[in-house]
Every structure is written in structure tokens, then in C-alpha cells.
Structure 1
Amino acid sequence: MKRKSITAGLLSLGLPLAMAVSGIGTAAAQDHPELTGDDLERANTIYFQRCAGCHGTLRRGATGPDLLPETSKDLGQRRLERIIALGTEGGMNNFDGILDEEEITLIATYIQMEPVEPPEMSIAEMKDRWTVFVQPEDLPTEPQHDRNWENFFVTILRDAGQMGIIDGDTKEVVSKVDTGYAVHVAKESSDGRFWYTMGRDGRLSKIDLWMDPPQVTAEVWIAYDARDVAVSHYGEWQDKYVIGGGYWPPHFVITDADTLEPLKVVSTRGYNTDGEYVHEARVAALYNTPGAPTFLVNVKETGQIWQVDYSDIDNLRVEMIESKEFLHDGFFDRTGRYFQIAANFSHHMVFVDTHTRKRVGMLNTGEIPHPGPGANWDDPECGPVAGTVHLGEGRMTAWGNDPEGHPDRAWQTCFSVETDGPGLFLRTHPNSPHVWMDQTMHPEPDVNQWVMVMNKQTRELTPVQVTDLPAEYDAVATHMEYNQAGDEVWVSVWARGRGHLEAGEIVVFDDKTKEEKARIKGLETPTGKFNVYNRKKHIG
């Protein structure tokens, strides 16, 4: 299927945006810069790809400040360009290595214009963009290759709009399959055979690892801007439903897991913890609960964790669990009962008992926690713990998460260690003596191209260099994942600089010695990667 530009795709689905792109019917004043035609479409695309995640589709602000004309016009074109190019001390990264001068000028102009609200999306419109490439009855009944597919790494190739399927035994790239743009995460069927991805463009895809080569079997667009996906794993509903969450429109959609046919859509607009109405209440993260037929729908701006019972989707039962804004990513403890999620710009981790469907704790861990897929391990002092790195400071904080065996430690800080810079991800494995953590958000290559490895017993940190690419590559080391055996750690090198996207690679380390074993090259902007066996067994 030929991929449309983001704006062109939206144009085909709604008159309001079509009017905006053509310059008709906008509320833009005449006393500030304007864009029309190709320049406006290009600016729309850049904003969607690089800015909307933090500042919101409607530019009203989220984890980043608002970018509305009443704010941006006062700053002026030149100062806006400088801020975009150089970043800010508040945490916005510099874009001078990612966008060229013309693109920076376009975005500085764009954010001085009145924002236009994109259209809503109905199930009928979703079905117009739903395709089954291989009917379920025509799928293979056994693997069509002799590879150890349970040790495959399903790898996001962010800016290519692809997933790379990499053989963990041979380190070969088995295939690259087209998915949505800037996939954030991939989730597995209960047996690990099928993988579901959600692109930032709202494209939900299903991949079959048994095919030779692995390929997409179905897809559907459930939003214009989206982020996460989950699969039902419980009881008689195992592998029956897939849920996708939208940033815009702010809603979640339940689809048939076999074909991805959209079945139900539910808006997430509502009130935050202060009782203020939130129009752009985005679905940040989605999870299946191991112990009940429910999905966890985390509504970013309202601070509401919705536990949605899928046992009867015609009569949805929803528990609304109040926590803190702004919900982001989370993970379960090793028992699968307790859910641990970052309310990142509230500087808290939030803890939910998914059996009682109630919040059991909140903890200030440091400046902007971001655990990604998280990590659980045993600490010699506190017993079972989990941890997070932080976007706002070089720190990893661990807390107790065993309320039955260690009630005095539950949901309380066990210890904290300082790293050299703020990070995005940490990861471990039961067979490993280590916790690996990245420092992706530090601005300097001599920090962000290194990772920290912590000894679980001594809490001692050891820096490990992943790459040494020159500054023009704008490359960072990010996202660790163990192999099936738990004796290798795979780290992505995300090269973001103009003209250098294909310099991305994955560096494979021996976990015990921390020595490099292999490099998998030729990967365009690799970020997250998911080992089939570890993810289906919920290891780490």
C-alpha cells in the first residue's frame, strides 16, 4: 500500500483539516507569519512527528508548555528559532542536528499561527482504512522457517516506519516490515507468535513471526495520532481482543485480534484530579492485566487509570482509579498483580492493585520518572524491588514492591543511585547480576553514548561505552533488552542526525563481562526492541 503523507491522510478523512491546510476558514490573524500550501503541509508533518507528543495535537501543552499564538507571538520568530535549535534547560532537546534551518524556520512560524482542531474519527471511518492481507484461515499452522523465533527481537526502526525482525541466535536481520510511523511499542499474543504495533500515525498492525519472512497480516487506522496497544491474555478471552489508544482523537478502540476489525470506540475526555475538564485527554499507555479480563487504560492528562473489563464489551465495566498527572509508561511487579506507572511530570510513581482495582500507593522518586518497560529484582536489604530512571536528572530510584513479604518496604524508596545523566530506560533479567540503564537524555555524547550497569548486590555502578559516533550523527545509546537466555544485553544506537539515520545499529554485550560481542548494522533509527520469549513470559 502506498503511504500517504500525514496531512494528506488526514485530508481524506475530514473537512476541518482540509479547510485549514488550504488556508480557508482559519482564524489566523493577519499581523503574524502565515504558511500555506506545501509549506503548511510540511510544517504540519514536522510538528506531528517531532513536537505533538510533548506539546499536544492542539498545541495546548501537556508534558511540555503550550505553543499557542498568545504565547509564541510574544517570543518572536528569531527567538523561537533559537529555542527550537538549541533546546531549553527545562528538558527540551536541541533540534539543530535533527531539523535543517528551513525546517526550524517553518516550525517557528507554524507555532505562531492559530491551531486547527483535527476531525473526530468514527468506527465507520476506521473500517474504511482497515485491510486484512492474509485471512486467519490462510495463516500457516506451523512455523515456515527453522529459526528459533522465540529468540527473535522485534525492533522498532522509528523513522523508517518499520519493524525489524532480528534473529537473536544468528544476529541476522530476518525481515523489515512496514508498520506505522514512529512505533512506540510492540505487544505480543499469548504464545508470542503475533505482534501488534501502533504507529504515531494511528496505524495498528499485526505481524506473524511464523511466516517466511515474517510479515503484516492486517492493519487498521484507529486515530490520527496514537501511541500504544495491548492484547487480551486472560481466560476464555485469550487473544480475542486488541486495544489501541489515541492521542487524537482522545479515545481507545477495541478490535478483533484475528482481523483487527474495529468493534468499539470509547472517548477518554473528562476531568483531571483537580476537577478541571480536559478536552485533549490522551491515552498514554495500555496493558493487559494478568489476573483479570481487563485492560489498563492510562489517561495521560487526567491522571486517571481506567481498569476496563473486556469480558462483555457491549456492557463495559470501567473502574476509574485516580492518581496523578501525567501518566506515561508502566510495568507490573513479578507477581503480575501490582501495576507500577510513572506520573512523570508530577514526579511520582503510582501503584495499583489490579485484583482489588484500587490504588495502593504513590511515591515521589525524583525529577520526571521514566521506567519504560521497567525492571524488577531482589535487593539484599529490601527484598523484591523495582526501579526507574528519570528524564529530569541522572538518578535511578528503587522501591519495595512486595507488600505481602516485606510490608514495611512496600511502595517506599529502598535506595537511589546517581548516574551521569538523565535516561529513558532500564532493564534486568532474573539470570543476571546487573541492572542496565541508559543516559539518553543527557545533551553530551560522552555521556549519552554510554550506559550504566549496576551490580544488584553491591549497587556499584560501572559505565559502559556503546558507541563513539561524531556529534553530527546526533547518536545516543538507548533501550536495553536481554536475549532469551539472559546472558546478552542488546543496546540500540539511535542516530538521529540529518543524513545519518541509517548509521543506527544494535550493540550486543556479554552481560557477565560487559564486553561487546556483536554489532548489527544497517538499521534506520532503532529504538525499542522486544525479545519474544522474555516478553511473553513477562521476564524482567
Structure 2
Amino acid sequence: MHKKALSKGIFALSFPLAAMMAGGVQADAPEMTAEEMDRAGNIYFQRCAGCHGTLRGGATGPGLLPEDTIGMGQRRLESIITLGTEGGMNNFDGILDPEEITLISKYIQQPPEEPPEMSLADIRETWKIIVPEEEWPDSPQHDLNWENFMVTILRDRGAMGIIDGDTKQLVTEAETGYAVHVAKSSSDGRFWYVQGRDGRLSKIDLWMDPPQVTAEVFIGIDARDVAVSKYGEWENKYVIGGGYWPPHFVIADAHTMEPLKVVSTRGYNTKGEYVHEARVAALYDTPMAPSFLVNVKETGMIWQVDYSDLENLRIDKIESAEFLHDGFFDSTGRYFMIAANFSNRMAFVDTVERKLVSLLDTGAIPHPGPGANWVDPECGPVAGTTHLGEGRMSFWGTDPENYPEHAWQICDIVETDGPGLFLRSHPNSPHVWIDQSMHPEADVNQWIQVMNKETRELTPIHVADRPAEHDAVALHFEYDQSGEEVWVSIWARGRGHQEDGAIVIFDDKTMEEKARVENLYTPTGKFNVYNRKAKYKHG
């Protein structure tokens, strides 16, 4: 059943995941029909599984098994889902209607059931060539400045919006997987690889007119991240996708998208406990070695997977802390920094030596997103993170050679008005831009903070300017090709208002609004081609 659904390329709303997971109604749980179970399962997959786990065993969020939920009672469960929590869970009163909140509250009191596994043969059945290589253009088919395109996640639309950074016009919407988490490019920026939550890994060619998907493959039925090889002779040779379910990673041919190898990530955590649902949270290519970093969320293990010989795969397993999520590199490309968010720590890895350098307590549930590097007048090169659990931005030193006293130590903590998801900066910018999107109130989550790198002072800016029924938050920052503009998303999540999203464009120096791109369907992350191309050339 799952292979048929995957081959059609349909996402959660018509995906039979709920039926696979529904293990029958718990005796002392609220009664539910099969139709209600299926509907609630789809809601859970779309909105809840990322934090609470496909099997509801918990991760960044707590476990939602019957033994965790039945004793809480229907009314309390509905209240938590409606209003959110101070621990970092956002409110769903504008995202789900009251009937859906009641439904999902009943659902999480039922026993879960494992969805099916996927073999390499299963994955290969989903591989699809959409535009044959002989039809690829030899040069751009349009006269647009494609290196200043903003490849933009239209989260609930199941597409990537390609926006011209020069004209501020939407060029096209490329159909991809549902709720794409991130996008990664080939080293020249022409091709973009995006991983949908439904497991669909898509390749987009920006030279086509309009840009479009050339090939795709489903690497699982729930997934988050992707990376492309960029080192030496393996440049642009492999692409890797990581599964939440099944818990594995898949290496494919980056040219054709043919799946080549699948590797399970089940294993033992840092305490020596076996983890069945050991999900792949984040994937990165290492600039100084022919390897991918595979961050296994529940185990706290960072796998450095050497792709120079797929038949004799070398994997260095680096112990850090649970639960791994988003990460980024320091300004040199040697040190990888990732949030072990439920451990309230950042982990630092030397990718040349392939070993853990340090662990650092930063605050409640760090979440750097793509992160930010800059130079602090006191601590030298630094990097920072926002937090899901509290309103703060913490930053630390990253230069063990020239500033050893500050390396992997907190340089400063800047208090914001609420928890956030993203921060961003640019080498030529005097600022660090910080969102507050996880706060439940519009008078905080529609505002951002801009920190002066020299003084560490914050300037609040009202971005979203949307009525309450839009349930809109301001989040995620990206600089344009010039490094002079900062693009900020307005994610309108309210039911019936998803098309009221926008991107607001600011002058980085003056912090004044310059332009807007309106009528976007749930825009979240965006990625400038020029800025996201391979920054480091080694090997």
C-alpha cells in the first residue's frame, strides 16, 4: 500500500500512514471511528510527529503514548494543544479548528502502530525521471539573474517558490514534497535538492524556463533533510536524504537521483540504550573531507560518513548529546556546530579530526536553524543560536587558535522578548537578525530583533502586521546576492488565510522596509542561490 501511494507522489492528506499506525482503540480511551482515526493520523503526521515522534515516543517534545495521555484527560489535552506551552510548543488554536483539536486529543490516547519499512528495492520503485538529461539546457533558458533567485519553501503548498531577487517577482512554483524543511544546492547553484516531510526528494533545475523538477525519489515516508557532496573529485556526485521513518539514510546519484545505498540509523544512544526510532535530523557535507554528517536525533550520535568508497562505507560515530536537530559550520568550514536541543546544549565537532571538541550549555532548547557567524569585538569569531524554550540568543567563540580562552565558551547572552527559531547575519553586515516566532502572542511573534554586532544592543522591528485570525509569525532571514537586503517571511498559518503570507525586504544598514512580495502560500525558509553556493573549496 505504501509503495503505491509513494509512486503517485502524494503527501500526507491522502497518504495511508494513519491507517498503518492505528493500532485499534485503547479500552479506556475515547471511542473513535476508523475514519476519525485516519483523519487524526494525517493531522498528527503533518503537525506533531516532528517533535513527538512517528511512534509517539517523544523527542524534542514529550511522549504521547496512552500511558502518558489518558490520565491527563480530554479537556486538559485540548487545552494544551489549543494554547501551547511555555516549554516551546506553539499554540494551535489558529492552525487547527476546534473539531480537529478534539480529534487529535482523542487520537493521542490510542495505541500507535509502526508504519512499514522500506528496502532499497522499495525506494527504487519510487524513482522517477521527469525531464531526461538530453532535454536539460546547456545555458539558462531565461534572461533572469538566477544567482539572485530566492528558493523559497511554500510549506503547506507542497512547493518551492522561485522568486527573482532583482525584480521581487514570483517566477514559478515548483511542485515538490509536502512541508519541505530545507533546500541544498549543487556547488554552482544551478541545481537545488529539497526534501519533503512526506519523503519526496526532488531535484530542481534553475536554468529551465520556468525552473522545474527534473527527477525525484521517495527515500522514506517521513523525512527532513538533504545534502550534496562537494569535496574534490566527488563534487556534485552524491546526494543524501535522511529519514524520520524508516530511520535510515539513502545515498543517491546526484545527477540522476537513482538511489544507490540505504543504511539504517537504529542503534545505541550516549547512555548505551538501544533506540528503535533513531531518526535522521540533519545532513551536511563537510568542506574539508569527502564525507557527510548524519545527525541521529534520538541517539545523540553524529555519524561522519565517508562517501569516497560506497562499497566499503567508513562511518565514524561521534558521541555528543540527545536530541540532535539543526546545525551549521563555523566561518572556516572545519568545525561543525549542532543543537542537542532537548539536552539544552550545542555540540562542536572537528570534521578534520572527526571527533567531538566540546559540549556547551546554552539555554532551554537551542535552535540555530542555519545559524550565524560574525566577529565580536571582545571574543573574536563567534556563532550563535536562538532557543525554542526561552527568549534568548546565546553566542560563543569559535576560534581555538587565536582566541583559545573564548573557544566553545559563552561570549554573551542577549535577552529577547520570546523564543525563536532562526538568526542570520552576513560578513559585511553590522547586524544579527533574530526572530521570536515561537512566542504565542502576536505582539511578540510578529516582531523581530536586530542586534548591533559592536554594541550588542537590540532594535525591535514590527514585521508581520497581520490580524489575529491570520495567526501570522515573522521568521527566517536571508540576505540577497548583494548582502545589502534582508528577506523576512510572514508565515500566515490561520485556517483560510494561508495564502496571505508574504516576504518583507529590509535594507540591512538602515533596517527600513524596502519592498514586499505578497500573496505567498505559507512561506517559511528561503535560500539565496549566490549566498548558498559552496563557500569552501578544499581537496
CA positional deviation for 1:3: 5.0
Question: For residue 267 of structure 2, what is the amino acid of its counterpart?
Answer: G
| 1:251–1:267 Cα contact (<8 Å) kept | yes
Give TM-score, length-normalised by structure 1. Answer: 0.96
1:395 aligned onto 2:395? no
Equivalent of 2:212, from 215, 220, 241? 215
Equivalent of 1:415, from 412, 416, 419? 412
| 2:156–2:521 Cα contact (<8 Å) kept | yes
1:98 aligned onto 2:95? yes
1:471 aligned onto 2:468? yes
Tell me the distance in 2 between the aligned counterparts of 1:519 and 1:415.
Answer: 34
CA positional deviation for 1:18: 5.3
CA positional deviation for 1:516: 0.4
Tell me the distance in 1 between the aligned counterparts of 2:368 and 2:391.
Answer: 13
2:298 equivalent in structure 1: 301
Tell me the distance in 2 between the aligned counterparts of 1:413 and 1:220.
Answer: 42
| 2:230–2:534 Cα contact (<8 Å) kept | no
Equivalent of 2:12, from 6, 16, 21? 6
1:245 aligned onto 2:253? no
Superposition map of 1:183-262 within 5 A: 183-262=180-259
Tell me the distance in 2 between the aligned counterparts of 1:202 and 1:159.
Answer: 15
Q: Deviations over 1:85-107 (max 9, x none)?
A: 12223222111111011111111
1:285 equivalent in structure 2: 282
1:367 aligned onto 2:351? no
2:330 equivalent in structure 1: 333
1:316 aligned onto 2:313? yes
Q: Structure 1's 411 and 342: CA in aligned 2 closer, same or farther, altered over 3 A?
A: same
Tell me the distance in 2 between the aligned counterparts of 1:152 and 1:229.
Answer: 20
Unaligned runs of 5+ in 2: 1-6
Matched pairs, number: 530
| 1:455–1:461 Cα contact (<8 Å) kept | yes
1:276 equivalent in structure 2: 273
CA positional deviation for 1:125: 1.1
CA positional deviation for 1:2: 6.1
Superposition map of 1:75-90 within 5 A: 75-90=72-87
CA positional deviation for 1:537: 4.3
Tell me the distance in 2 between the aligned counterparts of 1:91 and 1:185.
Answer: 21
Tell me the distance in 1 between the aligned counterparts of 2:165 and 2:13.
Answer: 37
SS in 2 for 1:280: coil
Question: For residue 420 of structure 1, what is the amino acid of its counterpart?
Answer: D
CA positional deviation for 1:78: 2.2
Q: Deviations over 1:409-448 (max 9, x none)?
A: 1111111111111111000111111111101111111111
SS in 1 for 2:69: helix
1:440 aligned onto 2:437? yes
| 2:431–2:451 Cα contact (<8 Å) kept | yes
2:4 equivalent in structure 1: none
| 1:7–1:44 Cα contact (<8 Å) kept | no
1:378 equivalent in structure 2: 375
SS in 1 for 2:139: coil
| 1:7–1:41 Cα contact (<8 Å) kept | no
| 2:371–2:385 Cα contact (<8 Å) kept | yes
Q: Deviations over 1:248-301 (max 9, x none)?
A: 110000011011111100000111111111110100000000011000000001
After TM superposition, the runs of 4+ consecutive aligned structure 1 residues lying more than 3 A away are 1-5, 7-11, 17-21, 26-31
Between 88-97 and 430-439, report the one with greater CA deviation.
88-97
Tell me the distance in 1 between the aligned counterparts of 2:290 and 2:526.
Answer: 27
Tell me the distance in 1 between the aligned counterparts of 2:533 and 2:164.
Answer: 17
| 2:188–2:534 Cα contact (<8 Å) kept | no
Tell me the distance in 2 between the aligned counterparts of 1:400 and 1:36.
Answer: 55
Tell me the distance in 1 between the aligned counterparts of 2:171 and 2:475.
Answer: 22
CA positional deviation for 1:33: 2.3
Tell me the distance in 2 between the aligned counterparts of 1:77 and 1:324.
Answer: 34
2:455 equivalent in structure 1: 458
Superposition map of 1:13-32 within 5 A: 26=23, 28-32=25-29
Unaligned runs of 5+ in 1: 12-16
Equivalent of 2:127, from 130, 143, 163? 130
Tell me the distance in 2 between the aligned counterparts of 1:302 and 1:37.
Answer: 34
